[in-house]
Amino acid sequence: METINDCHVHLTSTFPSEKKLTTAELRKLKIVLQNETPAKMLRGMDKNKVDKALLLSGTQVDRIDIVRQETDRCAKILKAGKKRFYGFLRINPVMPGAAEEIKRAINDLGFSGVKMLPNYWYPYEDRVQAIYKVINSLKVPILFHSGILWGHGASSHYCRPTNYECMMHYPNAKFALAHIGWPWTDECLALAGRFSAGTGGIKNKKQMFVDTTSGAPKIWKVDAMKKALSYIPHSQIIYGSDANPWAEGYRDWVKTDFEILREIGAGPETVKKIMYSNFFDFVK
């Protein structure tokens, strides 16, 4: 069983909804959070042969007070994680206080980057540019959701891969598009190809990464991965699970991605880059 790094791990939100949770929902949340302690997480990672995990602070509520609570919780896990966790602050960039919270997370709490999900805002909008400028000045990466959304209303079109072309104006901010942009996988790879070519004002040829976190059904993911390996540098593809490396069944989930890589003829060196080494190029 090969050791991997995982660039896409969501922490459970302690405040998952604006609605008041039922007693049963609260009980279930408590059980989940009891398993999300640094000691249990690290034991699970050891069992599943996961070296490093990129933790995304958890909240789906666009209230800065709630975001701060989740930031602080993630920071405690990072501190206790024996340098095996990297933290990305999940935040809505158009919410009041976003810039200050990003600075606090990076400068004071040891976070490595930022996670954003365009939910009723476009990545290229003027109101988002001030946040990109902050992140660019901090020289930290962004993990963006890209592709279809589940459970966020009719908002998938905000997340189309070419919407992120504006990142060429922020060369100090590396970024990754998750889910290979499914169902716009060709569009995602086209954008990655443009960034890797270093044309059109793009100076940093290693600014964009493609996060292989599942979204596409296997038949489409096989096709997308085959195209990715034939078109963009293998150094710009990173593995993400969108699962918990300390959970039962995690390794079965990972197994599918190893199978896909071998099915399309990826050699040992390429497999190691995608599943392990490229992680460090993205987060550092």
**For the chain, which domains are there?**
4-283 (3.20.20.140)
Query: CA-CA distance, 54 to 85, in Å (whole number)?
Result: 6
CB-CB contact of 235 with 280 (8 Å): no
Cβ atoms of 229 and 192 closer than 8 Å: no
- CA neighbours closer than 13 Å in the CB half-sphere of residue 5: 21
Q: What is the pLDDT along the chain (284 residues), one digit of tens a residue?
A: 799 999 999 999 887 776 677 878 778 777 777 889 999 999 999 999 999 999 999 877 788 999 999 999 999 999 999 999 999 999 999 999 999 999 999 999 999 999 999 999 999 999 999 999 999 999 999 999 999 998 778 889 999 999 999 999 999 999 999 999 999 999 999 999 999 988 777 888 899 999 999 999 999 999 999 999 999 999 999 999 999 999 989 999 999 999 999 999 999 999 999 999 999 999 99
Calculate the alpha carbon distances from 211 to 29, 38, 156, 272 in Å. Answer: 28, 25, 18, 15
169 burial (CB, 10 Å; 0-12 / 13-18 / 19+) is middle
Residue with tokens 């993990």: 143
Residue type, 276: Y
The predicted pLDDT at position 244 comes to 94
Q: Quick one: pLDDT at residue 280?
A: 98
